[in-house]
Amino acid sequence: MFTKTPYRLVGAGCLVAALLSAPAVSLGAEVIKFGMFTPPKTTLMVKGLIPFLEQVSKESEGAFKYKGFWGGSIMRNPAKQYEVLIAGLQDGAMILPSYTQALFPDFSLFALPNLFRSGEEASIAMWRLHEKGLLGGLDKMHVMAIFSNGNSAFHVSKKLVSVEDLKGLKIRSAGPEEADVIKAMGAVPVGMSINQVAEGVSRGVVDGTLSGWEAIRSFRIEPLIVSSVDMNFGTRSLMLVLNRKVYDRLPQQAKDALAKYEGEKLSRKIGKNYDDANEKVISRAIKNPKKNIVHGDKATLARVAKMFKPFHEAWIKAHKDGQKKYDALQQILAELRKGS
């Protein structure tokens, strides 16, 4: 079952006091300060965010201007992105709801195992659920995209032969839902940001991570990985957002340009980009004789699916309008799989 581990914002007062000396954005020709903790050469940046921002800037004929602060130059900690956004220290950001679950409890739905078939499917479904007004906690932000980087796999620095070999291993967890999945597989969850995993594995703090395939490339974890357990262990949801106050004072020409390229179109594109990138990382692992991928036989897959079914039931009971939201997502997925 999913535990209700509190994920709170820490040190907000100290953080704001330290950073409020940053120059304020002028209201005349406003330049959006877009902060990202991810490196600038990741799939998200190169094929997703930067082309999107450039398209919007060109379409608006200069009414939308931005300056990128990549690689965490404003705030490196993924768990503090929302805090810094609302404090006004950056105007745009990528938010990972799993790091601040108390603020975005509805997004934990997407971490349930055995929901999505791909990052693209997950991204479209997430956006459509948002369009239905069924994802709470977003009132202080203008949401440009909601997307997934694909289903998680266990990536570890040890040789594994079967799923059972995960037992007792220390596995990095992004949030309480992932922690419950890790525990269900017999491993030990360790809370840690994705950009700390490579060092954590190198120093033996953790044996591996429950993450998407492309993430282990982007955050330089891939060379440390020996085995991966690749099953449908749930996905992460991510958002590209603007501070609502900043968005509200943008000129209409800038808002119109954003509207042309954001939303489901952008969400789908990013999800598909991740699927393609994931396949490349998987392909490298298959070709590397020093690495192995454990998929699980038919009996193992059936056993694991049965084990995770109560997770879905527990989520419905634990969340306000849980059945309504869960059913809405299932309906969206059914429509997508019919080709809608």
pLDDT digits (tens, 9 = 90+) for 76-125: 999 999 999 999 999 999 999 988 889 999 999 999 999 999 999 999 99
With contact defined as beta carbons under 8 Å apart, do 98 and 149 qualify?
A: no
Tokens of 143: 């949401």
H-helix segments, the chain: 12-19, 43, 50-59, 81-86, 119-131, 176-184, 197-202, 213-218, 244-248, 252-261, 264-287, 298-318, 322-337
**52-65 confidence digits (pLDDT tens):** 999 999 999 999 99
Q: What is the dihedral of CA 100, 106, 111, 113, to 10 degrees?
A: 160
CATH number for 12-104+113-147+235-278 (one of 3.40.50.300, 3.90.550.60, 3.40.190.170, 3.40.1260.10): it is 3.40.190.170
pLDDT of residue 251: 96
With contact defined as beta carbons under 8 Å apart, do 153 and 210 qualify?
A: yes
Task: Return d(Cα 172, Cα 182) in angstroms, integer.
Answer: 9
CATH number for 153-234+291-337 (one of 3.40.309.10, 3.30.70.260, 3.90.1150.10, 3.40.190.170): it is 3.40.190.170
pLDDT of residue 30: 84
- What SS3 class is residue 156? strand
With contact defined as beta carbons under 8 Å apart, do 205 and 190 qualify?
A: yes
**287-322 confidence digits (pLDDT tens):** 999 999 999 889 999 999 999 999 999 999 999 999
Task: Return d(Cα 277, Cα 119) in angstroms, integer.
Answer: 11
pLDDT of residue 3: 42
Cα 244–Cα 193–Cα 75 angle in degrees, nearest 5: 45
| Residue ranges of the chain assigned to CATH 3.40.190.170 | 12-104+113-147+235-278, 153-234+291-337
